[in-house]
Chains A and B, each alone.
Chain A
């Protein structure tokens, strides 16, 4: 479990980063900031945690080039800004921080991407979470429907009890950006598994067909590449309620990556994989075999798709034989298929035939 820091501990961790720079100058050297290399070449499987984490490769960002020097200066401004927020009991979104940097002169960010990356850099170096930094993402959390009950502390600081089947409308329960214990408490459930779904269209199809009730499951809409809070709540439900998680995505190289980020940990957030990843999650479909077995309407792989698949072949997260077979098969087929291509056989085919067959293989139906 990732350790959470108090305000004082967070400040101390950040001061260590500042001290590294300051001491280098005192020694008559260029200031530096040391952090792990953040590419697929530096992630490895952590046996103890069961997820992929950054390896030992470190990179030293030093102030010998203008770009790196500016990064260091920005880091100092961000640290100062976070300290101020901690002291004032405030928080801000990453986007707000990006605009606030307008007044930082030479430490100003060039793009929102830069400020997001720097926040992640600081998380990695200090081992704090951005929640400790009082920084919020802009990204949308997922929505959920199913017979499960939780407590959420609302804006007025009161705990609200919500059942994600009876107390919500058709759009389901919206997962907030912060799903930590101080904000959300998981109470009880009467379901057998959780199904995470890539597209809104498929999510709505399953709800309309009453799939959650028929198959006693919680449905969760990922909204594409899932946000941190979405991955975190899947992890919590899986662990705290001891529920299996199945993931139902399109059948293309990008869906494989979505699954990897849910089950094994994303490259960008490998420093907190054990906090976000759900190693027990299973890829339900659409697999490369499904395209053939169900004779699904498909599209040709684009040049980018092929590049992505080839990159995945050398990604340590896809190193097992099942994934290697799936990836190679898709490359051979030269085809990809969407979840909704199942509609070829009628609107009920997915809930009456495809999913029951797939779940039966896993012993869930």
Chain B
């Protein structure tokens, strides 16, 4: 890649960096004064989160914006983190060179797929204010912090350092900062409030990064704080090799021309995921190529034939060559419980439900859809629900209407789930917010502006399924709320009012207080269940108690089922009433007889959870007589749980099988990484169409090139 680019570059005239910026600012996120500020914050914060994640540090990020000159719209942005810091000699590369870093080539889910990088901010700052960007960096192994002002030589695309030195980095309490990075830059920008603002960007970031602590001081001096709600860091993601289904001609050509392998079959096995020894041979046969062909010397026609074999257009024994799906451990979903926490801390509400679908593969690219819905509380009920879109944990704030994730929301008839939606069209209305997160190694956007995801039927369908499941959850919640209110009333009636009527009437008539048992059975004439899920401070466990009362005149038999966070790694303790596992996360107890007037208590504790992880247990029943306070078991719901469980099982089996070669491959990618790319190549790549066909990669600087 770099080879071709350098050849091109030598033939091209040096383009002034300002011209490059001016021409392409809408791609780079600097097209308006308010968006420029969001983009700058985004680049700095994404870097901080990525750095902390790689170093396995719980992030603490402080963002501060000050107005320096209101007339000329000059603001100062300061972003400080507690990441590992950058060694002094690398600072100029990170801040002064476009696209420094290895993630550009690695195929895995990363935030950085979506931006030009922090260098863009340095550039924009210099072009609009003429000022350099001040960097302070402290790494753990050094006693002082490195400080330096970074500017750019706009002719040579090189960093210009000034005021370099070292200093102690003291915290407010007088102690020394252990490690971290602080970037201070001045830029022409406008601070705005509302749906498209720095505040909203940070709020959304905090939702999908519940492990981060974010503090924001706005230009008016107001401090916004989003606390950390979990100590769990996102899973460390692995890089994977490209999958034959997701590769393009140009990319295949480059890989072949750079290959040092001597045989095509070896090249296929070692450079792609999902290609076994057998598949490699079959691919060669399908493309009518010898296994011993030297990759470097393949002619264009041979390359095309190979690609056709990849795509199943050339067959082996009359069938497309079968390949394994790529492993999915390159994805890092946020996961249900953490989305729940993230949403709950940012939005005040009564009900949250989240669903993380099993990973899936579309055109050779692993992806995973996660959705969340938060309902009630202080949210406005007459406005469209708030849509929170994310791609690889990065908030998408513009072009909501044209985005695949929005379309998935609109494809659901929300009326049946308790939200308003005139004509079952468009974004529903109601006191709710809907979150959609797509995690993928190859996020496809509608345009270079990277704010809306391009249409992809498989992904829409997956997101839609998740929404439907969530909708059912909402409906269940609303029904349950109604039933609970009804149950509460009945209990108040028989526990408080009825005894008071008996006592008062006896008092007035001067007679003995009558027995209430008969009246109670007649009034209730139902089986009632009560469930309490509470956090036990002393044992650090979640205690669950389910009580079933038979207020009917006959004896009853039931199977009682309850949900519990098995997938999230909780352990069930002290469950003396036994029972058995019904499905992943669903436990069942069989109750042979419950006599009239009798009650039955199921008790257990959940270990391995944090406070707030599990606050509500869903209780279901199988049996003919309605149980007030529990839901009739929907067998379809169980089936869906079992399906997802099966998919997960198969996936992990596959990942295990592929595990060995993945490691091997990782070493190789590091060798072929080209950390530096120059401006000319980027300019060349910008000449390509802005919207590419769906299987094309339209991320400008990231993803699986």
Does A83 belong to the interface (CB within 8 Å)? Answer: yes
Known contacts A69-B493, A70-B497: A28-B522 contact under CB 8 Å: yes
Assuming the contacts A66-B497, A106-B496, asked whether A28 and B517 have C-beta atoms less than 8 A apart, the reply is yes
Collect the chain A residues with CB atoms within 8 Å of residue B516's CB: 25
Known: A25-B505, A29-B518, A76-B505. A69 touches B511 (CB 8 A): no
Instruction: Report A1-31 residues with CB < 8 Å from chain B CB.
Output: 15, 18-19, 21-22, 24-31
Q: Could you tell me the distance between the alpha carbons of A73 and B493 in the complex, rounded to whole angstroms?
A: 11
B501 interfacial by beta-carbon distance below 8 Å: yes
Cβ-defined contact, B505 with A18, below 8 A: yes
- Interface flag for B498 (CB, 8 Å): yes
Give the nearest-CB partner of B511 in chain A: A22
Question: Of residues 79 to 120 in A, which have CB atoms within 8 Å of B's CB atoms?
Answer: 79-80, 83, 105-107
> Which residues in chain B, 510-529, are within 8 Å of chain A measured between CB atoms?
511, 514-519, 521-523
Tell me whether A331 is interfacial, beta carbon within 8 Å.
Answer: no
* B506 CB–A CB distance under 8 Å: yes
Interface string of B470-499 (1 = CB under 8 A from A): 000000000000000000011011001110
Please name the residue on chain A nearest to B503 by beta carbon: A76
Q: Which of A24, A65, A70, A77 contacts B504 (CB 8 A)?
A: A77
- Which residues of A sit under 8 angstroms from B523, Cβ to Cβ? 30, 63-64
Does residue B647 face the partner (Cβ distance < 8 Å to A)? no
**A109 nearest CB across to chain B (Å):** 14
Q: In the complex, which of the residues A27, A28, A30, A106 contacts B500, with contact meaning CB atoms closer than 8 Å?
A: A106
- In contact, A83 and B519 (Cβ under 8 angstroms): no
Within 8 A of B (CB), among A56-81: 63-66, 69-70, 72-73, 76-77, 79-80
How many angstroms between the C-alpha atoms of A29 and B515 in the bound complex? 11
Note all chain A residues with C-beta closer than 8 A to B493: 63, 65-66, 69
CB-CB < 8 A to B496: which residues of A? 106
Q: With A and B bound together, what is the CA distance between A21 and B497 in angstroms?
A: 13
**B interface residues, how many (CB within 8 angstroms):** 26
> Which of chain B's residues have a CB closer than 8 A to the CB of A18?
505, 508-509
The contact size tier of chain A is: 20 to 34
Contact B508 A80 (CB under 8 A): yes
Instruction: Give Cα A64 to B505, complex, Å.
Output: 17
Whole-angstrom distance from the CB of B91 to the nearest CB of chain A? 70
Residues on A with C-beta less than 8 A from B490 are 66
- Determine if B641 is an interface residue (Cβ-Cβ < 8 Å): no
Specify which of B496, B498, B508, B514 lies most central, judged by the most chain A CB atoms within 10 Å of its CB: B508
Complex Cα gap A107–B507 (Å): 15
Question: Nearest Cβ distance between residue A71 and chain B, in whole angstroms?
Answer: 10
B552 vs chain A, min Cβ distance (A): 14
B502 CB-CB contact with A under 8 Å: yes
| Contacts A63-B501, A69-B501; A28 near B518 (Cβ below 8 A) | yes
Residue of A nearest to B516 (CB): A25
Closest-CB distance, B495 to chain A (whole angstroms): 11
Chain A nearest Cβ from B497, distance in angstroms = 4
The residues in A between 177 and 226 inclusive whose CB is less than 8 angstroms from any CB of B are: none
Residue of A whose beta carbon sits closest to that of B510: A15
* Centre residue among B502, B505, B507, B515 by max chain A CB count within 10 A: B505
A83, B501: Cβ atoms under 8 Å? no
| In contact, B519 and A30 (Cβ under 8 angstroms) | yes
Q: Which chain B residue shows the least CB distance to A107?
A: B500
Contact yes or no, B519 A31, CB < 8 A:
yes
Which of A15, A27, A66, A69 has a CB less than 8 Å from the CB of B509? A15
Chain B residues with Cβ below 8 Å from A22 are: 502, 505-506, 509, 511, 514
CA A30 to CA B498, docked complex, whole Å? 9
* Nearest Cβ on chain A to B502's Cβ, whole angstroms: 6
A28 touches B519 (CB 8 A): yes
> A105 — which chain B residues lie within 8 A by C-beta?
500
Given A18-B509, A63-B523, A66-B490: A25 in contact with B501 (beta carbons within 8 A): yes
Given contacts A22-B514, A25-B516, A29-B519, contact A15 B501 (CB under 8 A): no
A129 to chain B, nearest CB (A): 21
Asked if residues B518 and A27 are in contact (CB atoms below 8 Å), the reply is yes
Give the distance in Å from the alpha carbon of A21 to the alpha carbon of B506 in the complex. 10
A80 cross-chain contacts in B, Cβ below 8 A: 504, 507-508
Contacting pair A79 B497 (CB below 8 A) = no
A64's closest neighbor in chain B, by CB?
Answer: B523
Contact call A21/B505, Cβ cutoff below 8 A:
yes
A15 and B508 within 8 A (CB): yes
Question: B537 to chain A: closest CB distance in Å?
Answer: 33
CA gap between A15 and B515 in the complex, in Å: 20
Chain B residues whose C-beta falls within 8 Å of the C-beta of A28 in the assembled complex: 517-519, 521-522
Q: In the complex, A83→B523 CA distance in Å?
A: 30
Instruction: Kindly identify, within residues 54 to 91 of chain B, every residue whose CB is under 8 Å from any CB belonging to chain A.
Output: none
The answer to whether A76 and B522 touch (CB under 8 A), given A22-B509, A65-B493, A106-B496, is no
CB distance from A162 to the nearest CB of B (A): 42
Query: Is A73 a contact of B502 with CB atoms below 8 Å?
Result: no
Within 8 Å CB of B501, what residues of A? 21, 25, 31, 63, 69, 72-73, 76
- Give the distance to chain B from A277, nearest Cβ to Cβ, in Å: 34
Nearest CB in chain A to that of B492: its residue = A66
Interface string of A114-145 (1 = CB under 8 A from B): 00000000000000000000000000000000
Report Cα–Cα, A106/B501, bound state, in Å: 10
Taking CB atoms, residues of chain A closer than 8 Å to B521 are 28
Contact A79 B508 (CB under 8 A): yes
**Would you call A31 and B505 a contact (CB within 8 A)?**
yes
* Minimum distance in angstroms from B498 CB to a CB of chain A: 6
Q: Chain B residues with Cβ under 8 A from A69's Cβ?
A: 493, 497-498, 501
Inter-chain CA distance A77–B492, complex, in Å, is 18
Contacts of B504 in A (CB 8 A): 73, 76-77, 80, 107
What 4 A-B pairs come out closest when comparing CB atoms? A28-B518, A66-B489, A76-B504, A69-B497
Q: Which residues of B come within 8 Å of A, CB atoms?
A: 489-490, 492-493, 496-498, 500-502, 504-509, 511, 514-519, 521-523
| Complex A-B: 13 CB contacts under 8 Å | A19-B509, A22-B506, A28-B521, A31-B501, A63-B498, A64-B522, A73-B504, A76-B501, A76-B505, A79-B508, A80-B507, A83-B508, A106-B496
Not counting A15-B508, A28-B519, A76-B505, a sample of 4 additional A-B residue pairs whose C-beta atoms are within 8 angstroms of each other reads A18-B505, A22-B506, A30-B519, A76-B501
